[in-house]
Structure formats: C-alpha cells, structure tokens
Structure 1
Amino acid sequence: MRKEDCFYLGKIAKKFSYKGEVLAWLDTDEPELYENLESVFVEIHKHLVPFFIQSSSLHKNEFLRVRFEDIDSEDAADGIMGCDIYLPLTQLPILEGDKFYFHEVVGFIAEDVRLGEIGTIVNINDTSSQPLFEIKKGEIEILIPMIDHFIVKVDRDNKKIILDTPDGLIDLYLNA
C-alpha cells in the first residue's frame, strides 16, 4: 500500500499491558468510527506494513486499545511504539455539505465572492494553531485562514471552494 493512497489515523502512543496491547491515539473527532477495524497500516522505516487486529476498544475517548496479531509481549510492542498508523482513503467516511478533508480540496479553485477566482489550493498548512489554505495565483502564494465563516460553499462537482474573505486580506498578497 502506498502512503499517497492512505490517510493518517493516529499514532501508537503507549503500551497498555504486558501482553503486548497498545494504546493508539486517534486523530479524529469521531473515534467510535474506528472501534471495529480489522487491520491498519503501521509505518515502519518509511514503509506501510499491514497489522491485523485481534481486538480493540475505545479508551478515554481519543485512544483505541488494540491487541494486534503477532504482538504478544512488551518487547514486541516496543517495536511499534511511536509509529504512525494509516488506513486506505477508501475507508474515510464520506463528508457532505461544506465539511471536507484537507487532502480532498487540494487542486480545487479558490474563489472569493467579491474578487472572483483567486487561485488554486496547492496545500493545507496545518502546522500552526489555525490551518491555512495555501493558494497559488501565478507566482504569488496567498494564505487564507480556514475559518468556517470564510467558507461559503464547497462545490465538489466543479472542484471549487467559494470564500468570503475580509476586505483587504487577499489584496495584501496581490499588491505586495
């Protein structure tokens, strides 16, 4: 499985028992959707390796207590500590309306209600406390905070996001 065909689900955070059970931190608002997984991909040395799940249950809302097949001791669990876990993109729940996954809108046209087309979304920068749309218009990079009230509409059919940005925000980039 290629990483490009998967989405980041979380990270194996800590050991839970001496029998090899681990706690996986889930990077999701709906951890209950992932309670009954059959398998996940664990990133080991930059390769995605399938791990089959014997049993799992939610633990303190954002953790999944997991017993993997073939991980039956603390030593075996040590080998996967801190590893990222992934699932195929096909297992993402379908979002509707103006909700979207970050990877889904890369390549969409960004259009402002006043200014019209402002460029193409090339990335979502989520390294800061406020995620940003990274938009390219020719050689100019425009950064727009991903704030719900800025997003008017997500038009999946036409691969567009309609934005209503504050006066002057986009001009800061275009007139620099």
Structure 2
Amino acid sequence: MNIDDCYQLGYIIKPHGLKGELQLLLDVDSPEDYQNLESVFVRQGQQLVPFFIEYINVRSEKAIVAFDEIQDFEQAKTLKGAELYLPLSALPEPSGDQFYLHEIDSFQVISQSGQSVGCIKNVIESGPQLILVVEDVGGVEILLPYTESLLIKLDREAKEMHINIADGLIDVYTNPENED
C-alpha cells in the first residue's frame, strides 16, 4: 500500500499491559466510527505494514487494541510512536458541504460574484483556518484564507468551491502595480 493512497488514522501511544496490547490515539473527527476495524497499516520506516486486529476498544479519542501479530510487551514496545494508516477508500463519506482536504485538490474556486478565481493547488492548515493555495489562469499564486463560514456552496460534481472572498484580496495578487 502506498502512503499517498492512505490517510493517517493516528498513532501508537505506548504498550498497554503485558500481553501485547497497545494504546492508540485516534486523530480523527469521529473515533467511534472505528470501533469495528479489522486491520490497519502501521508505518515502519518508509513502509506501511498491515496488522490485523484481534479486538479494539475505542474510548473517546483513545483506544486499546490487540493485534494478531503482537503477543507480548516486548513486541508491543517496538511499535511505540508508530503512525497508523487506512486507505482513503475507508474514509466515511462527508455530508453536505463538509469535505476532506485531499478531496478539494484541483477544485475551481468561484467567488461570491460568480467569477472563477483559479484552481486549488494546495491547502495549508494554519491554526483555526485553512489557507487555500489557488493558481489563476495566468499562473499567479493566490493565498485565500478559508473558514467554514466563508463557504457558499461545494459542488463535487462540477469540482467547484464557491466562497466569499474579501473585497480587494485577489487584486493584491493579480495587480502588483497597485503596491506602494
């Protein structure tokens, strides 16, 4: 499995007990959705190695798991800090205007006036807001702050994201002669 085809589910905090159980941190919006996992990929070096789950007990954002392959404390402690991954196909379907960051890559950004601003090339996570890195038709990179309240409409079929953009923000990038 290629890491680019996966998302990070969380990581292994530490061994739990002497029988090879592990404590996990599930860094996802709804950890309870993962109560019935059958397997995960554990990152070991640059490889993702499949581990089959004997049982998992999810409590809030943490979980206790027993892997079929891990039989004792010594084996368990070798996995401390390892990242956990699942295939992108295992992501729950977002509802309404919710989206995953990887999903909006290459979406067209449309302003509140209906004007196409450009294509999303990257998304930067910056504290409480996202920064959309948008490239216009002339190749100019435009950085647009984004919060949920700015979203007008997300059209998955058309691959468009309609958002409210502050007046004059795009001009800062597209009209450099206006600089002082």
Cα drift, residue 70 of structure 1: 1.8
Tell me which structure has the larger Cα radius of gyration. Answer: 2
Cα drift, residue 36 of structure 1: 1.1
Cα drift, residue 26 of structure 1: 1.1
Relative to structure 1, the CA distance from residue 131 to residue 15 in structure 2 (aligned partners, 3 Å threshold; closer, same or farther) is: farther
Q: What letter is aligned with 1:68?
A: F
Question: What TM-score, normalized by structure 2, do the two folds share?
Answer: 0.90
Specify the alignment match of 2:132 in structure 1: 133
Specify the alignment match of 1:40 in structure 2: 40
Specify the alignment match of 1:83 in structure 2: 82
Q: Which runs of 5+ in 2 are unaligned?
A: none
In 2: Cα distance, 1:92 partner to 1:34 partner: 10
Relative to structure 1, the CA distance from residue 167 to residue 155 in structure 2 (aligned partners, 3 Å threshold; closer, same or farther) is: same
Cα drift, residue 105 of structure 1: 0.6
RMSD: 1.5
The superposition leaves residues 28-57 of structure 1 with CA deviations (integer Å, 9 ceiling, x where unpaired) of 111010011000011111111100001101
Number of aligned residue pairs: 175
Q: What letter is aligned with 2:11?
A: K
Cα drift, residue 170 of structure 1: 2.2
Cα drift, residue 110 of structure 1: 0.8
In 1: Cα distance, 2:58 partner to 2:164 partner: 39
SS in 2 for 1:90: helix
Specify the alignment match of 2:158 in structure 1: 158
In 2: Cα distance, 1:72 partner to 1:11 partner: 19
Q: What letter is aligned with 1:120?
A: C
Specify the alignment match of 1:62 in structure 2: 61
Cα drift, residue 168 of structure 1: 2.1
In 1: Cα distance, 2:166 partner to 2:114 partner: 11
Moved more, 148-157 or 122-131: 122-131
Specify the alignment match of 2:22 in structure 1: 22
Cα drift, residue 14 of structure 1: 1.9
Question: What TM-score, normalized by structure 1, do the two folds share?
Answer: 0.92
Relative to structure 1, the CA distance from residue 25 to residue 159 in structure 2 (aligned partners, 3 Å threshold; closer, same or farther) is: same
Q: What letter is aligned with 2:113?
A: R
Answering whether residue 109 of structure 2 is matched by residue 114 of structure 1, we say no
How many percent identity over aligned positions?
39
Specify the alignment match of 2:51 in structure 1: 51
Specify the alignment match of 1:74 in structure 2: 73
Cα drift, residue 128 of structure 1: 4.2
